[in-house]
Amino acid sequence: GKTTLMQALCKQHDFATAYEQHEERPFQKLFKQDTKYALANQLDYLIHKAEQEFELRQSDKPALMDGGLDLDFYGFTRLFHTHNWLSDLDFDLCRRFYNLIRAHQPAPDLIVSLYADEKIIHERLASRDRINIASGDDANMLETLINEWLESVNQDKVLRLDVSKESVDYTQSISQIMEIINGKS
């Protein structure tokens, strides 16, 4: 959903972009095979997202990021800690890194949170042609963790979109997103 929405936005507007790049992440496949790589995988993702965010902020264009540092920390890092793939010490290391980055780089100007019916989420996860660390069974837990994080964010910076019945070109969502972006510029 996130990647498809970004691609649809970019067809209509000029944005600087940063995508997730799962295939390029060196620890993703290793972690899928052996959970001992959980810490390396998470730190790699957090570093990668921080680097992408820094590069996007150098652009003169408005920027779109697929996922992001905050989602990786508050969603996936916490999910992996819940599964005990990250120990308390591992999680604390990730938390310290996240806090260090946020002390030097501001949070996103706008967070677009997509949600869909549970059945649709499971179907989309199953149809992906990539390594999925989070399973369909994790979808509810991940949604809970993400919602906890989003509740802690200034709600003026959060746009929640139900994409359960959205068209493949995301016409309704793009309209809502652009209204907010144009209102903020």
112-139: pLDDT as tens digits = 998 877 666 556 555 555 455 565 678 7
- Give the start-to-end residue ranges of the domains of the chain: 2-184
Q: What is the mean pLDDT of the segment spanning 62-67?
A: 91
> Per-residue pLDDT averaged across 144-167, rounded?
90
Looking at the chain, the whole-number percentage of residues with pLDDT higher than 90 is 57
- pLDDT (0 to 100) of residue 130: 47
The confidence score (pLDDT) of residue 105 equals 95
Q: Is the pLDDT of residue 185 over 50?
A: no
Structural domain 2-184, CATH architecture: 3-Layer(aba) Sandwich (3.40)
User: Does 86 score more than 60 pLDDT?
Assistant: yes
Rg (CA), the chain: 16
